[in-house]
Amino acid sequence: MKDLQDADSHRAPSAAGGAPHGDSGRPVSELRERIWRIIFLSDTAAGKAFDIALLVMIGLSVVVLMLESVEPLRQSYGRWFRILEWASTILFTLEYVTRLAVCARPWRYARSFFGIVDVVAIVPSYLELILPGGQYLLVVRVLRLMRMFRVLKMAHHVSEGSVLLNALAASRRKISVFMLSVTVLVFVEGTAMYLLEGQANPGFSSIPAAIYWAIVTLTTVGYGDVTPVTFFGKVMASIIMLTGFGILAVPTGIVASEMSRAAAPQQPTDERTCAECGTGGHIRRARHCHQCGTVLQA
Amino acid sequence: MKDLQDADSHRAPSAAGGAPHGDSGRPVSELRERIWRIIFLSDTAAGKAFDIALLVMIGLSVVVLMLESVEPLRQSYGRWFRILEWASTILFTLEYVTRLAVCARPWRYARSFFGIVDVVAIVPSYLELILPGGQYLLVVRVLRLMRMFRVLKMAHHVSEGSVLLNALAASRRKISVFMLSVTVLVFVEGTAMYLLEGQANPGFSSIPAAIYWAIVTLTTVGYGDVTPVTFFGKVMASIIMLTGFGILAVPTGIVASEMSRAAAPQQPTDERTCAECGTGGHIRRARHCHQCGTVLQA
Amino acid sequence: MKDLQDADSHRAPSAAGGAPHGDSGRPVSELRERIWRIIFLSDTAAGKAFDIALLVMIGLSVVVLMLESVEPLRQSYGRWFRILEWASTILFTLEYVTRLAVCARPWRYARSFFGIVDVVAIVPSYLELILPGGQYLLVVRVLRLMRMFRVLKMAHHVSEGSVLLNALAASRRKISVFMLSVTVLVFVEGTAMYLLEGQANPGFSSIPAAIYWAIVTLTTVGYGDVTPVTFFGKVMASIIMLTGFGILAVPTGIVASEMSRAAAPQQPTDERTCAECGTGGHIRRARHCHQCGTVLQA
Amino acid sequence: MKDLQDADSHRAPSAAGGAPHGDSGRPVSELRERIWRIIFLSDTAAGKAFDIALLVMIGLSVVVLMLESVEPLRQSYGRWFRILEWASTILFTLEYVTRLAVCARPWRYARSFFGIVDVVAIVPSYLELILPGGQYLLVVRVLRLMRMFRVLKMAHHVSEGSVLLNALAASRRKISVFMLSVTVLVFVEGTAMYLLEGQANPGFSSIPAAIYWAIVTLTTVGYGDVTPVTFFGKVMASIIMLTGFGILAVPTGIVASEMSRAAAPQQPTDERTCAECGTGGHIRRARHCHQCGTVLQA
């Protein structure tokens, strides 16, 4: 989250270093500053237009990527798809180079969260030219959707995202205990169903298949591609479903209580103890001891 | 919510303007006031009867609209459906005109939330006479169900609705960050499944199809019209399901913590600073500085 | 909840009336008191045995009721099922009569929550002898499962149930606004899907069918008996699913915040104002004004 | 939870008993202490390596157990599976014996939570040699996955698990009332659907089948193997689905509020009363009476 929060650190060339010469020693051109303002901020008309153009480009390039996978469309418009894909890749590359150029601390930008996302958005297209079996990079190319977060960020949505991520991070131990418990549960339930239904039902012919069914059921997805057919199988399945119904409450409870805590007004206490009465646990902005009224020392 | 909350502003003719002559300059007739009381309030027997009649009319007209779409019923009773539909449209039109007539500030009513809902409930029926392809207005006609909220409103349910809407509004940023994250997730998962299953499974023959599947799975709907068939596809699907199971906790946590906060007693602080010690952040009803005991100035 | 909470009011014959003669004027027999203790309380060995016997009888009679509906079992064992059913009905009738007889205030018991449940558990069996089409009373007969709550009640589970019911009751307005909103939503979504898919897909051939689909989808049940087949239908369905995923958070948030509030320690304030400084909103056990330290008057 | 929390009580041989001779009277060998540190703790390089090796062994033995159930794999590699299975069983047995040997209080370890899990992980393999129909012990063998918790425990995850278990334990009464209510609900709904659909739909041909469907629906699993086909059946099903959608909020609300309470900062009050004014309910760290300012006595 550090990287998300110190987004402002990719500062205007003139601001970084506190001197008019910037990090590179040469005088900061006014043009460079203006371009920086357009592509990093959105407080000017040009900056907002740039953001919208960026959103459109990202959207378009992902739509092209999706449509290219539709066989009939590829046969008819494959040529156009490739042109659009390369157009967007080249534009993203130009944008990345410009960002590096106008940024006061290019290396810091390059290692930041969005700097990495920006690279990830363009590298796969070049790699596909070189590598065989490059179609697996499709998944990476879809990640360019994450660039959309950059635009949201300008609109101060990031702090909200931070709250979410912090809540998830704060509960990561509880969630990992929970996930391990769920894993044990689906393994046990899957094995039990394999023993109960394995003979009668091809959907439960092996333990891995039965575990797949248990996951589909416990998460309440319930495709129905595998369903119990014997009486005892249905009884067992009913128990599993009711368990899953109750278990669903646990992660929700974890996150909800974590978010309530994050949202609650904090009264953080500090290390000071009262010289007069020895009381500790004062709130930070306290000046007087809450026990005897003596002025607190820092 | 403004419009919902200042519902009382469609005041009795005599109350608006503070003068007995109303906005239109002519003397307020007693009849006009009585009608206003019947159709806008529900504190009289006639007012309650009107509310119930309105509920019945709305229900009936929506039932007719639904039954008309059932082919065998339309062939047998189509004529009756059209008669009932027009009867309700004309009654709603009369009601709307009456509301405008007896309301002290007709223009304000017309622009209010329920004023717009009332127009939306009648306009489509007239438009269908003129426009070709008017059957798409069906969706708009169903919106007349929203008129039912008006009756609930009389029963003071609106403030509860406001709490809900406020909680949703307060968490709109968190929810939009969440929705964008989910979108990125289903795109990535869909593309991954397309690569894993695309060859073997017609249900994953293109990325859009695979993304549709990912949405069906992540939301735990799980139709089962498209299901993985290969081993690695099932492993991937299991991971997606468990993710979706955990992710479901996030919006719930957001709304629950937001609603808890709305329900919690507030201790709002104000702008005052202590003249003696400069401390800020006093609670509103405080008279003494919580730091040095000096009386606070307003 | 009144009835659930004043369960103790079906008091021991000797306790009611505060006199040794009870309501009926005749001296309270020791036997009557002992029977009362066995069937109403569970603080004796006999009382616990009675509770367990009751649980077994209820379970058995419901199992019989279920098995009777299985065609092959009815043909083989139908005779036994009818014998068991009548045995349990007669035993429940005897129990009910005994409860009335040993209870200090029979009429109060008869009108209490569990008194009514007890009658509902036996009446349908007798009614079926008289009424034609009596098989619809099956649903009522299943309600005898509610008698199991009586045994739980003895184990002090009722107060927990009260918390649940109170939380639900406190949020009933929010929930009714939510349910009406969901209703409007599924009607609008159903109509939209009817227009999009109606031609191509027999599952959406009428608005009621499409609304049924919308409910199956929005609640994330997702049978898969009706699924969209056109491209725009799938896009629309995806939007509906993501909406439903988010909407699920709302009732959960309502109940969770309501239950948190019920569980939170209360600091109720009273009506007193400080005679010296006029401050109000003091907590009940406060003796000194929290603003100026003056002693508060009652 | 006792057993989970006093995990530290399986102390180093030298620590237990407070004397250098241990429980068995013979001098504690340094080797024994070193082995104890490796297999019970993970604060040394060897201890961490042991933990990882253990995780791998557990994972491997469960994977083997699963693959053995896949018919084609068993035919090809069945021999290898049996070798691996016995290798892991023997290693686990050796590990268990070592744990007993190096532990200061073997009997206490043997009865602890993880001691029992460790036995459960090895016993079924031996029992299968003796017992006919031993394949049902498969389910027990899968329980060796629970041994993974031991490794997590070392990483201080257990306290998180305790919070989860405590929250569930604290709400067990509410949850049991809820589960009984849900049971009554699915019995009533199932019976109603049997009456509505039983004639027309083989999926509802008996009450147990209809109850199975009601569970599948209420938990929002929705396999689609049984779906309503009549109009009134669909109406009833829609009501059941909307009910289930709302009911899902209840256990979540229970757990969320319970976890919030557990997470909330506590201000525990103590038994002291003010000698001057008699006020009780002071917070623990208070020195002065919050009512009259008199110094509190311990």
Which of A222, A224, A256 is nearest residue C256 as measured by Cβ atoms? A256
Q: Is A177–D167 a contact, with Cβ atoms under 8 angstroms apart?
A: no
Answer yes or no: is pLDDT of B239 > 70.
yes
A partners (3+ CB pairs within 8 A) are: B, C, D
Tell me the C-alpha distance between B217 and C23, whole Å: 64
Q: Is B224–A219 a contact, with Cβ atoms under 8 angstroms apart?
A: no
| C282-297 exposure pattern, b = at least 16 Cβ within 10 A, e = fewer | beeebebbbbeeeebe
Least CA distance to C253: which residue of chain A? A256
Report the Cα–Cα distance between both ends of chain A, in Å, rounded. Answer: 31
Among the ranges given (A246-250, B259-263, D153-157), the one the predictor scored with the smallest mean pLDDT: D153-157
User: Phi, psi at residue A104, to the nearest 5°?
Assistant: -65, -35
Q: Average pLDDT, stretch C114-119?
A: 86
User: Phi, psi at residue D283, to the nearest 5°?
Assistant: -75, 155
Q: Is B224–D224 a contact, with Cβ atoms under 8 angstroms apart?
A: yes
Q: Nearest to residue D159, comparing CAs of D167, D145, D255?
A: D167
Residues of chain D with Cβ-Cβ distance to B220 below 8 Å are: 220
Nearest-5° angle of CA C41, CA C45, CA C50? 60
Q: Is C69–D194 a contact, with Cβ atoms under 8 angstroms apart?
A: yes
Q: Nearest to residue A174, comparing CAs of D5, D161, D264, D147?
A: D161
Which of D194, D217, D250 is nearest residue C164 as measured by Cβ atoms? D250
Indicate the helix (H) or strand (E) that contains A214: helix A207-218
Tell me the C-alpha distance between D226 and A27, whole Å: 75
Q: Nearest to residue D200, comparing CAs of D230, D225, D227?
A: D230
Answer yes or no: is pLDDT of B226 > 60.
yes
Which of A220, A223, A260 is nearest residue C220 as measured by Cβ atoms? A220
Give the minimum alpha-carbon distance from C224 to chain B in angstroms, rounded to a whole number.
4
Give me the pLDDT at residue C154, please. 47
Which of C222, C253, C260 is nearest residue A222 as measured by Cβ atoms? C222
Answer yes or no: is pLDDT of A1 > 70.
no
Optimal mutation site among B62, B69, B117, B144, interface C, most CBs of chain C within 10 A: B69
Q: Is C66–D277 a contact, with Cβ atoms under 8 angstroms apart?
A: no
Q: Average pLDDT, stretch C128-154?
A: 76
Give me the pLDDT at residue C272, please. 62
pLDDT-derived band of residue A94, with 50, 70 and 90 as boundaries?
A: very high
Q: Is D167–A253 a contact, with Cβ atoms under 8 angstroms apart?
A: yes
Answer yes or no: is pLDDT of C19 > 70.
no
Optimal mutation site among B250, B255, B267, B291, interface A, most CBs of chain A within 10 A: B250
Give me the pLDDT at residue B46, please. 87
Tell me the C-alpha distance between B176 and B182, whole Å: 10
Residues 6+ apart with CB under 8 A from A131: A137
The three-state (H, E, C) secondary structure of chain C, written as one string: CHHHHHHHHCCCCCCHHHCCCCCCCCCCCHHHHHHHHHHHCCCCHHHHHHHHHHHHHHHHHHHHHHHCCCHHHHHHHHHHHHHHHHHHHHHHHHHHHHHHHHCCCHHHHHHCHHHHHHHHHHHHHHHHHHCCCHHHHHHHHHHHHHHHHHHHHHCCCHHHHHHHHHHHHHCHHHHHHHHHHHHHHHHHHHHHHHHHHCCCCHHHCCHHHHHHHHHHHHCCCCCCCCCCCCHHHHHHHHHHHHHHHHHCHHHHHHHHHHHHHHHCCCCCECCCCCCCCCCCCCECCCCECCCCCCECCC
Give the minimum alpha-carbon distance from A148 to chain B in angstroms, rounded to a whole number.
8
Answer yes or no: is pLDDT of D15 > 50.
no
The single residue listed with the structure tokens 């004397």 is D19
Residues of chain D with Cβ-Cβ distance to A258 below 8 Å are: 263
Among the ranges given (A262-266, C111-115, D263-267), the one the predictor scored with the smallest mean pLDDT: D263-267
Q: From residue A36, give the alpha-carbon distance in Å to each of A94, A118, C104, C162, D213.
A: 14, 16, 87, 62, 61
Residues of chain A with Cβ-Cβ distance to D190 below 8 Å are: none
Q: Is D148–A180 a contact, with Cβ atoms under 8 angstroms apart?
A: yes
pLDDT (tens digit per residue) in C185-223 = 999 999 999 989 988 888 898 999 999 999 999 988 889
Q: Average pLDDT, stretch D143-148?
A: 82
Give the minimum alpha-carbon distance from A5 to chain D in angstroms, rounded to a whole number.
27
Q: Average pLDDT, stretch D193-201?
A: 89
- Of C266 and C278, which is predicted with more confidence? C278
Least CA distance to B234: which residue of chain A? A212
Answer yes or no: is pLDDT of D13 > 50.
yes
Give me the pLDDT at residue A211, please. 93
Give the minimum alpha-carbon distance from B259 to chain D in angstroms, rounded to a whole number.
12
Q: Is B176–A157 a contact, with Cβ atoms under 8 angstroms apart?
A: yes
Q: Is the dihedral of CA A190, A195, A200, A205 positive or negative?
A: positive
Nearest-5° angle of CA B79, CA B85, CA B88? 140
Give the minimum alpha-carbon distance from D269 to chain B in angstroms, rounded to a whole number.
22
pLDDT (tens digit per residue) in A169-223 = 777 777 777 888 888 899 999 999 998 988 888 889 889 999 999 999 998 888 9
Q: From residue B234, give the alpha-carbon distance in Å to each of A210, B193, C2, D100, D235.
A: 11, 10, 52, 41, 34
Which of C192, C223, C291 is nearest residue B287 as measured by Cβ atoms? C291
Give the minimum alpha-carbon distance from A285 to chain D in angstroms, rounded to a whole number.
19
Answer yes or no: is pLDDT of C93 > 90.
yes
Give me the pLDDT at residue D298, please. 57
Contact D189, D240 (CB under 8 A): yes
Give me the pLDDT at residue D18, please. 39
Give me the pLDDT at residue A216, please. 92
Give me the pLDDT at residue D233, please. 92
B partners (3+ CB pairs within 8 A) are: A, C, D
Give me the pLDDT at residue B9, please. 41
Answer yes or no: is pLDDT of D212 > 90.
yes
Residues 6+ apart with CB under 8 A from C40: C10, C12, C99, C102, C103
| SS3 state at A55 | helix
| SS3 state at C294 | coil
Q: Is A223–C224 a contact, with Cβ atoms under 8 angstroms apart?
A: yes
Tell me the C-alpha distance between A80 and A87, whole Å: 10
Q: Average pLDDT, stretch C130-159?
A: 72
Q: Average pLDDT, stretch C264-281?
A: 54
Answer yes or no: is pLDDT of A89 > 80.
yes
Q: Average pLDDT, stretch B224-228?
A: 90
Which of D142, D157, D219 is nearest residue A191 as measured by Cβ atoms? D142
Q: Average pLDDT, stretch D160-170?
A: 69
Optimal mutation site among D259, D261, D282, interface A, most CBs of chain A within 10 A: D259
Optimal mutation site among A227, A252, A261, interface C, most CBs of chain C within 10 A: A252
Average of per-residue pLDDT values in chain A: 76
Among the ranges given (A200-214, B63-77, B118-132, D53-67), the one the predictor scored with the smallest mean pLDDT: B118-132
Give the minimum alpha-carbon distance from C159 to chain B in angstroms, rounded to a whole number.
23
Contact B201, B228 (CB under 8 A): yes
pLDDT (tens digit per residue) in B31-68 = 888 888 888 877 788 888 888 888 899 999 889 988 88
Give the minimum alpha-carbon distance from A23 to chain B in angstroms, rounded to a whole number.
35
Most confident of B160-164, D16-20, D180-184: D180-184
Give me the pLDDT at residue D48, please. 85
Average of per-residue pLDDT values in chain D: 76
Q: Average pLDDT, stretch C124-129?
A: 84
Tell me the C-alpha distance between C215 and B67, whole Å: 18
Residues of chain A with Cβ-Cβ distance to D179 below 8 Å are: 242, 246
Indicate the helix (H) or strand (E) that contains D174: helix D172-197
Give me the pLDDT at residue C213, please. 93
Q: Nearest to residue A174, comparing CAs of B135, B178, D156?
A: D156
- Of B286 and C129, which is predicted with more confidence? C129
